[in-house]
Amino acid sequence: MADTRPDVPVVSKRAARRAKQREANPMRAEKMHRLRLEKPLPPLPLSRELPRLNIGCSGWFYWDWKGLFYPTQMPTSQWFPYYAESFDTVEINASFYSWPTQAGVKAWMKDLPDTPFVFTVKANELITHVKRFEDTETLVKDFGYVADILGEHMGCLLFQLPPSARYSSGLLRTIVAQMEPGRRNVVEFRHASWWNEDVYAAFRDAGIIFCACSGPKLPDDMIKTADEVYVRFHGVDAWYKYRYSEDQMRDWARRIADSGAKRVWAYFNNDYDGNAIDNAHQLRAMLEQMGVGR
């Protein structure tokens, strides 16, 4: 039975859930490892046709979106189909906390619309935060099986490092060496030391996409290390609790357009108060007006 005492803070329940997920991740990864070996799936070529403009939110299941975006009486089982009517892509963040199962990945695709829909999937923290890419070559391949299950609906694999991971040439070499060729790999850093020419050059040589990041105390440079660009919007003054102004969105739209990228990936993680929804629609409209994605 759940503890309903008023003095038990919600944050403690969340921490307990996170700890339980972290404990289960190695077992879930091992199951996917066995599945990958027993039932290999051929990855689709990167050259396959995908939308040139991919703009959405970092997740779709937020309780405070009820009444703001989702109709008040709509059951949560209908939230994703409703989201997919407004956006043609989503960035899966839940996979960072809980290693996905085959059934879970297939469930994402259950209620897809007839129009093309693409998932970007964030790599599990077991790789990036717990082991920090140390001896994770097999784990990276196992997580890549998620992309193979998604097939034509797969976009990017996003690897986000923790803020405590500072730049080192050794870690850079390790990361680059473990990114699987044939995947659309994106790496997001949370420490400013990674914004340097050595990183950009290594990523260009390997075809890895450097994640441009709008977040507090991080460089907001529009970095392009591949034919495609990827931007995550977390907020400027505060993480997640931020609404971008029209001028800020127009500035980002100009910089994205000026990058000359053949494909754009942009996801909004400023989910509080539904700001991500409005800012995502705003950026798409601006880029389309500039002719990006045609």
- CATH number, domain with residue 59: 3.20.20.410
Q: Is residue 173 part of a domain?
A: yes
Q: Is residue 33 part of a domain?
A: no
Predicted TM-score (pTM) of the model is: 0.93
Distance CA 245, CA 233 (A): 12
Q: Is residue 158 part of a domain?
A: yes
Q: Is residue 200 part of a domain?
A: yes
DSSP per-residue codes, 137-190 = HHHHHHHHHHHHHHGGGEEEEEEE--TT----HHHHHHHHHHSPTTS-EEEE-S
Q: Is residue 21 part of a domain?
A: no
Mean pLDDT of the chain: 93
Indicate if the pLDDT at residue 47 is higher than 90: no
Number of domains in the chain: 1
What pLDDT sits at residue 110?
87
Q: Is residue 14 part of a domain?
A: no
Q: Is residue 28 part of a domain?
A: no
How much is the average pLDDT of 78-82? 94
State the greatest distance between any 2 C-alpha atoms of the chain, in Å, as a whole number.
Answer: 56
Domain that holds residue 235: 51-289
What pLDDT sits at residue 44?
86
Q: Is residue 82 part of a domain?
A: yes
Percent of the chain with pLDDT over 90: 84
Distance CA 287, CA 289 (A): 5
Q: At what angle are helices 275-289 and 246-258 packed, to 10 degrees?
A: 50
